[in-house]
Amino acid sequence: MSEARAPNKLQRSLMRLDEAPAFMRGFVQNIILRRAVPFTGTAGVKFVSLTPERVEVRLANEHRVQNHIGGVHASAMNLLAETATGMVVGMNVRDDCTPLAKELSMAFKKRAMGGLKAVATLTAEQRAAMRASDKGEVQVSVTVTDEAGVEPVECVFTWAWVPSSRPAKN
């Protein structure tokens, strides 16, 4: 039987959204998260679903994120996948730790058609490891699909977490 876990700082912040009227929650959530990670607002990333197990984000194929052939730029695809993986890690990392992107790999497979969706997930074992230690790393599963349901890019993200503050050296 798994033990209940108190929400971390990010989860507690998002839980405060329950105080807002239901019709405004998504809008307010996007404003709050875009302020926390400003570049997501610049690109227009939309936070669709946020749980400690799964995060879904979307990016419309708009001029500000397009490449020279009218598709979503490779850097914007990276931002989308990094945002999804970073947010799911952020929903699980202990309050006394800081998450850090450590490594990424992206393989471009097909031309993206339209907007994109990224879904990142963590297993129960990965989440437990994050609770058990103040330092470690995890490879986060993320799937990026376009409006046609095709995966134009395959991504692998490794995130680390470290203590937020280290004791002073003597």
Q: Locate the domains of the chain by residue range.
A: 9-163
Global confidence as pTM: 0.84
Mean of the per-residue pLDDT values for the chain? 87
CB 31 within 8 A of CB 14: no
Residue 7: band (very low, low, confident or very high) from pLDDT cuts 50, 70, 90:
confident
Token output for 168: 């002073």
Q: How many CA atoms lie within 13 A of 24 on its CB side?
A: 9
CB 46 within 8 A of CB 59: yes
Q: What is the pLDDT of residue 121?
A: 97
CATH among 3.40.50.300, 1.10.760.10, 3.10.129.10, 3.90.1640.20 for 9-163: 3.10.129.10
Q: In whole angstroms, what separates CA 90 from the centre of its chain? A: 8
Distances (CA, A) of 49 to 30, 77, 100, 148: 11, 18, 22, 20
For residue range 85-135, list pLDDT tens digits in order.
999 999 999 999 999 999 999 999 999 999 999 999 999 999 999 999 999
Q: What is the pLDDT of residue 90?
A: 92
Q: For residue 38, is pLDDT > 70?
A: no
For residue range 18-35, list pLDDT tens digits in order.
777 777 777 776 666 766
